[in-house]
Amino acid sequence: MQFVVSIPDPAFIPAALAGRADLLEIRLDLTGPISSEEAKTMFHDIPVPLILTVRSSSEGGMFRGSPKEWWDLLQPLLPHATYIDVEREFRDFAPVLRERGKKVIASYHTGSMPDGGALEAIREELSSYGDIPKIVVSPGSGDDVLTLLSFTLHAGKPIITSTMGARFSFARLMLPFFGSSFLFCHAGRPVAEGQVHILRAREILDPFL
């Protein structure tokens, strides 16, 4: 399991690195456009891999543009990235990203709680175009949390699972023990409700890892 810090503003990069993030997720739907020249200055000496994410409004982010606008936000930063988050709406870009040597995190975020069979069907669909499926759901009960934990345990690996919302945010810290590859944290400004600070996450989890 690796600790990822979501970056809504480049000002949070030093705090993320101080918190010993294993990866940084650059949330381009929140930072806004970053030029290739800015990227060279900003990322040339970053010692950890970068994930580029343009989260759409339909999946909890701020991006409301077209696929072309999505691609235009990513392009200047591609030379610096290891992973690209690709929602199903933008899956047609996955082949060219993989041709360029990028790993695709195929992501799906929902305000509902699919059952076990539906979760597996989603995983299979995401795996058809991505290297790592990422499934983020919204549990409505303790039983839903157990369903997510069981799915994560038995799903094909690698996989990333997480939750939306504050009510069952504790499940974020449990899922790595059941096989989720990445834990998404913040370094001073959460990008999603329920996200845990990197220092707090490490304080809780490091003794068990």
Q: What is the pLDDT of residue 209?
A: 83
The residue annotated as part of the active site, out of 134, 154, 157, 197, is: 134
**CA 192 – CA 12 distance, rounded (Å):** 15
Cβ pair 152, 175 in contact under 8 A: yes
Considering the entire predicted model, what is its pTM? Answer: 0.97
Boundaries of every domain in the chain:
2-208
| Catalytic-residue membership of 68 | no
109-130 pLDDT per residue, tens: 999 999 999 999 999 999 999 9
Number of H helices, E strands in the chain: 9, 9
**CA 188 – CA 16 distance, rounded (Å):** 9
| Catalytic-residue membership of 109 | yes
Superfamily of domain 2-208: Aldolase class I (3.20.20.70)
By C-alpha distance, which of 177, 168, 131, 130 is closest to 150? 177
The residue annotated as part of the active site, out of 68, 102, 103, 109, is: 109
Q: What is the pLDDT of residue 197?
A: 98
